[in-house]
Chain A
Amino acid sequence: MQDLKHLIKFENLLDDAANDLVKEAQAEGQYAIGYTCYHMPEVLLNVDNCFSTRMRAPRTGSIDISTYYMSNYTCEFARALLERGIEGGYEYLDGVAGVDACSAMNRCYEHLEVLECNKKPHFFVTHTDVPYKVEDYNVDQVATQMRLRLLDVMHEKLGIDVSDEAIRKAVEEHNELCRVVTEIGNFRKLENPPITGYEFHVISLVSYCCPTAKILPLLKETLEEIKTRKPDPKPWFRARVAIVGSEVDDLDLTRLLEEAGAMVVADRYCYGSFPGREEIRLNDDEDIVKQIARHYMMTSECPRYMAEEKIKQRRDTADRLAKEYGADGIIFEQMKYCDFWAFERPLASHILTEEYGWPTLSIDRSYNVHNSGQLRTRFQAFVEALEIKRIRRNAQEQEVVG
């Protein structure tokens, strides 16, 4: 396939947290609000003169200092962010919108504050409470938290207009972004897609890390390009897989999979497009923040939600996406030392295999997989197993037809 026009630009944008588009927007007087978790409604960070930037620590090397602070048994993602913060990598931020969802990330935010990793006078870190269930009173709880601990703070510290009109405007723009990314992602459903899993990963990530207004035109252009893009006559991959699990912002993971012959057709992980790129549908009757809170709570696939219906939702979603996107198998992955996914992974991957009938590969991984030989071998073995399975199935089907 011919290279996508903007791919290299997109890749470059992912090389640094403070990328060119972020700097451009800030030079124009906009404020950058960093966030990590899906529990924090991205759209609320794009109100008025603010823009959201999902925090990453690309090209992470040693994380010794953050390990001194947070020990070596804690989430590598949280530690990598802290390390980057200590190195000064988040000095460009104007605020961090934190949620107290897992202890590792909460402590990471706190360290950014305590160790004064950002010296801007108006810099703030908010901590909002996240519920464990999605009852009506929990929706109220999140809406109240968002108003008090986020919007009010943004207004106070940065003078942001947090009126309903401003929020509605942000939702409109957000929805447009979602439509574009979803449409691009839908090409992955095709038998011979005109986009690779890696390319989509890049696209999805830039949509989270760059100011929406700046990245949207480029994404629209890319969508048009893909519409007419000619895939190679024969698919390049040997198997199609859905990834399910904890945070992935490491392009190398997808790269490693593709090198093993797997096309990632569905990205059901934090920082992926499921959830994250669903349009928010608003009505005119209910409080707007409450509607937004509900949207994020309902679509969240985070194991932090412990209620029975959410546990089932997570398994059903993995199954639905794998089917819709024609996956041959599921890779259930977990960030090393993450408690939530550590418990979720063995049980859910067992159930997806035994009850939903999916071939499943269950792995834990570092924040940056680099060129992990162990993972490569496991991916290759999984792809081979899926391939053999498909060949057998095809042969059986032909027998039946014959």
Chain B
Amino acid sequence: MKYIDPKNFRLKDHIDWKAQAENMKEIAGIVGELVKETDWKDVAAAAGKDAKGLKKRITHEVNLLKNMSPEEVKDLVLNGEKQLGKLYANGKMATVRREWRGIKDTGVDFYEWTRMWGMLLATFSKDLVPALMGATHYRWMISYFCCHSFMDKNTMGLRGRALKMHHELIYAIFRYVAENLVLLMKADEKVGNSTDLSKKIVLFDEMTMSQIMAGFPDLIGIPYQLMPVFLLSEIDQLACMPYIDAIESYGLPSDTCPVPSSECGAVVVDALPHMGACFISSSMPCDGSVMASSYTSRRFKDLPTYHLAFPVRYEDESIMDAAVKDIKGCIKFIEDNTGAKWNWDAYFAAMKRFNEETKYELQKWEINQTPYPQLIGPCYELFRKWNYEMDGGLDPRIISTFKKVDKLMLKAYENKDEAWRGKMKYRAIVWSIPAHYYANFSNWAANCWGVDILVEMESLNFTKPLETEDKEEALKDLSRLYERMVMRRHTNGGYDHVVTELWRQCEAWNVDFVLMYQHVSCKNMATVQGLFEDQARERGIKLLWCSHDLMDPRTVSRKDMRSEFNEFMRTVMKAEPVDPSLLDFEDDTTW
């Protein structure tokens, strides 16, 4: 059967046209007011300034070209540009133009660009009307229009096989995004209102992985706040600010993590679509997330809710019984609320796939631990999170992405390719939680300083193959997996999981330093910062502390993050930048 079952997209919508007309009227009113209140002189002046800027930039680039030696021109034509900082302009949302990667790679890039457009158009046309109307109901939908820019910034500086691998990955990420968006808008009461589809949907807390849905092949599990909040914040750095502001003015202190606070803010500003047969709220990954579910369940009182809550001291097998019973309770809850029956065959089939995907993941690690790491950078990180861990083997198409990437990666390794051609100098791993609003930070680090971010803490969660024969054992494995999920494996169950584990990983990956993200409001990580310092000093391991506030760039901007990084590279590593044009530029408003 095709994944996602095409029938789901064909289920009947029950659009309330009168309500849509009302909504459009309201929007027309807002647009009218905007038009009225706009100072058109200012707009004209800004356009003039832009035109001047454009002229200046073109002249500058032509002059650069003129001053180049024939070898340099040849290199530019064949291998692409080297000063990527030129692509940014102060106050702009997008880069000034796309990157020139040399003839061949620009061709590859353009092909992938069109392929992505093709996929997006094909996916949205599966039920275009609700998807389009969704953009008039939900501000966050608009942010997804910048997905191509997201693709560009995550593949910046890449050439050859590395570029191809990253495009494969990002294609899969956006297919996941697009399909979920179409389903969300189709089922949402305010938009498509497809009751038949809604009955098949089980909503999950955004951080809860989908593996449990593998036993319900006829149902669709959607991580509820993923599209309006979590993933969105990786695409558009400004997207979560309205949520955070809303919940803080409701009374939530500003020291809480932006993940749960944005979720609650989205509830307050009514940014979450409403649909589904039931809701699985979860205690994962941390204290703040536990609390966010009380806001969601209050907002959607008509949605039956199950709290899937695994033990925190997960190494303690004596509590396994409670974890398994909780999963069983969850399965029964889904059965009761949807009428579907748990299907072991479907579950085992998906988990076999997941196990195979895990093997491919491990192969990536193996290669990255060698002196010739291949697959590094944000696409790998994002794909792993969404298409591997969150999808959890449900989507059979992911295996073919894994296969294609694996083939390219092995070839690249044989040829001793450099992930960022001619740029790689230092080996590092990321520890702690990365900034969502700077999802492409590792790309910048590679392009600017030649730093290979070989792996992130969040990639190193759980690699034990899941049981695919014995049913009781399978439930235990599923519990183990959930207990060690995204942001949970390291931050919960004792400091050993995060502090001691880092020293183990430093050895395995043979690093020059550790990029220690300091997510200022993550209490789980903040509470071990002194131990990190003490023990790193004892072991002679260099830590590059880089603060951020996960989804709120107002606390620490991208520029501030870069400054901390630059400072460390200059003073501690005594390094020279590979691309000085990237040392300092403005991107406070860039997607």
Contact = CB atoms under 8 A, between A and B. Distances in A.
A129 B319 contact: yes
A345 B251 contact: yes
B242 interface: no
B286 interface: yes
A73 B309 contact: no
Contacts of A339: 256-257, 286-288, 291, 523
Which of B257, B264, B290 has the largest number of chain A CB atoms within 10 A?
B290
A128 interface: yes
Contacts, number: 154
Interface residues of A, number: 55
Given A340-B291, A343-B256, A343-B291, A141 B311 contact: yes
A311 interface: yes
A362 B322 contact: no
B562 to A, nearest CB: 22
A103 interface: yes
A144 B318 contact: yes
A114 B527 CA distance: 13
A70 interface: yes
Interface in B274-331: 281, 283, 286-288, 290-295, 297-298, 305, 307, 309, 311-313, 316, 318-319, 321-322, 325-326, 329
A138 B322 contact: yes
Contacts of A100: 312-313, 493-494
B527 A107 contact: yes
A306 B526 CA distance: 24
Contact of A133 (B252, B255, B309, B316): B309
A135 interface: yes
A148 B320 CA distance: 14
A368 B297 CA distance: 34
Given A71-B526, A73-B255, A107-B495, A343 B288 contact: yes
Interface string A334-345: 101101101111
Contacts of B250: 346, 350
Interface stretch (B378-386, B388-396, B528-536): B528-536
A74 B264 contact: no
Interface string A153-188: 000000000000000000000000000000000000
A135 B494 contact: no
A346 B251 contact: yes
B20 interface: no
A364 B248 CA distance: 14
B524 interface: yes
A49 B526 CA distance: 38
A141 B311 CA distance: 9
Interface-central residue, B250, B298, B322, by most chain A CB under 10 Å = B322
Interface string A120-140: 000000011111110101101
A303 B292 CA distance: 11
Nearest to A311: B294
Contacts of A340: 287, 290-291
A103 B523 contact: yes
A342 B309 contact: no
A102 interface: yes
B253 interface: yes
Nearest to B249: A346
A143 B530 CA distance: 34
B521 interface: yes
A102 B491 CA distance: 12
Given A144-B318, A343-B260, A350 B287 contact: no
Nearest to B247: A346
A68 B319 contact: no
Contact of B530 (A70, A307, A336): A70
Contacts of B319: 129, 141, 144-145
Contacts of B313: 100, 127-129
Interface in A344-402: 344-347, 349-350, 362, 364
B309 A364 contact: no
B527 A103 contact: yes
Given A137-B321, A303-B291, A306-B293, A103 B530 contact: no
A104 interface: yes
Given A69-B529, A346-B250, A130 B312 contact: yes
A102 B318 contact: no
B307 A133 contact: yes
A304 interface: yes
Nearest to A103: B524
Nearest to A69: B530
A16 interface: no
Interface in A82-118: 100, 102-104, 106-108, 110-111, 114
A339 to B, nearest CB: 4
B520 interface: yes
A129 B255 contact: no
B326 A306 contact: no
A308 interface: yes
Given A70-B529, A308-B297, A140 B316 contact: no
Given A132-B290, A307-B307, A308-B305, A349 B523 contact: no
B290 A74 contact: no
Interface of B: 247, 250-253, 255-257, 260, 264, 281, 283, 286-288, 290-295, 297-298, 305, 307, 309, 311-313, 316, 318-319, 321-322, 325-326, 329, 491-495, 520-521, 523-524, 526-531, 533
Given A306-B291, A306-B294, 5 more contacts: A103-B492, A103-B527, A145-B319, A308-B307, A342-B288
10 contacts: A70-B530, A71-B527, A104-B527, A107-B495, A132-B307, A135-B326, A144-B321, A304-B287, A306-B294, A347-B294
Interface of A: 68-71, 73-75, 78, 100, 102-104, 106-108, 110-111, 114, 127-133, 135, 137-138, 140-141, 144-145, 148-149, 303-304, 306-308, 311, 334, 336-337, 339-340, 342-347, 349-350, 362, 364
